[in-house]
Each structure stands twice: as C-alpha cells, then as structure tokens.
Amino acid sequence: MVEFAIVVPILILLFIGITELGRALYQENTLTHAVQAGARYMARVHGIVDVTTCAQQSGWSSAETIAKNIVVFGTPDSGTAPIVPNLTTENVTISQTMRSVSVAGVTDPVTACAISVHAEAPFASIFGPEYTVPPLPLIGSGEPNGIGGIGAITLNADTEERYIGE
C-alpha cells in the first residue's frame, strides 16, 4: 500500500501531462490545417490581387473575411464555435507580397505574388487559464505564470501560397 501511495500520484501527473501534450498537438495540427485551407482559398480567388504588382484589388476585403471565417470556423460563413478554442478572426492575419522564386531550368529567378496567412490562439488547458502552479526550481521566474512556471502556451501557424487566381 505504501508503494502504491507513492507511485500513483506520479503516474497520475504523468498521465495528465501526456494528455495535455496530446491535446496541444491536436489543436496545433488543426490550426495548421485551417490556416492552409484559408491560404488555399485566398490564392485561388479571381481578381483580388494584381499579379504584376501584387497590389490588393477591390475584392480583397470580402475574400479576406471569407478566408478568416474558413480559418476560424471551417466554413465561409461566420459560425458560433471556432474549430480551435480561443481562436477569433482578429487572431488571423492575411497579407500578400512579391517573392523571388528559383525555377528548375530557368537561369533568372521568377517573381510571384504570394499570399501569407498567420493565426495564433492561446492553448486552452483542461484546467482553465486561471490554473497556475508555483514555478519549478531552475525553470520559473519566481511568479506563478502557467503550469510549473513555464508560462502560457500560444498555438500558432503560418503558411504561404502562390497567388494563382487569374
């Protein structure tokens, strides 16, 4: 019984830690796929970017709204529940820029307009954001600021797609 009483708390903490890590990786993977879907949509909308200058055109803002909804809710329409907890359309940024690209068999680099999408959201722990533990020795900064003093975890994803909408 004594050995059981010593080992069980360690096993429970290990199990909870593995579960939380799995949840974080799942949410990070979901966010990455959502950002890729939003970038894919923006890269294929016709006429929102001038291909030669990579300047935004008149339909950019409406396409950007739809792409942000795709990233956050998984649909072009504004939904009620985000696909990743704590993710909002304000946490998603979409931009365009000219990139120099090397092409096999071509000596001069080719320039192309690229659509970049970035999203971030704080990780939603099963213990809630208010749960803090005093920092662990040699890890924390002296203030409780997350589990073990490590701090809050922010999930983020970035992707870039070449604009081919025309």
Number of Cβ within a 10 Å radius of residue 121: 21
How much is the pLDDT for 92? 97
Work out the pLDDT band at 152, boundaries 50, 70, 90.
confident
Which of 62, 59, 89 shows the shortest CA–CA distance to 74?
89
Burial 126-136 (b: 16+ CB within 10 A, else e): eeeeeebeebe
How much is the pLDDT for 100? 86
Tokens of 126: 């099963």
Work out the pLDDT band at 128, boundaries 50, 70, 90.
low
How much is the pLDDT for 150? 57
| Average predicted confidence (pLDDT) for the chain | 85
The CA angle 96-80-59, to the nearest 5 degrees, is 30
* Residue written as token pair 């966010």: 31
Tokens of 38: 């939003």
pLDDT at 144 over 80: no
Separation of alpha carbons 66 and 88, rounded Å = 13
How many Å separate Cα 62 from the centre of its chain? 21
User: Mind listing the pLDDT tens digit for each residue in 19-72?
Assistant: 988 998 999 999 999 999 999 999 999 999 998 899 999 999 999 999 999 999
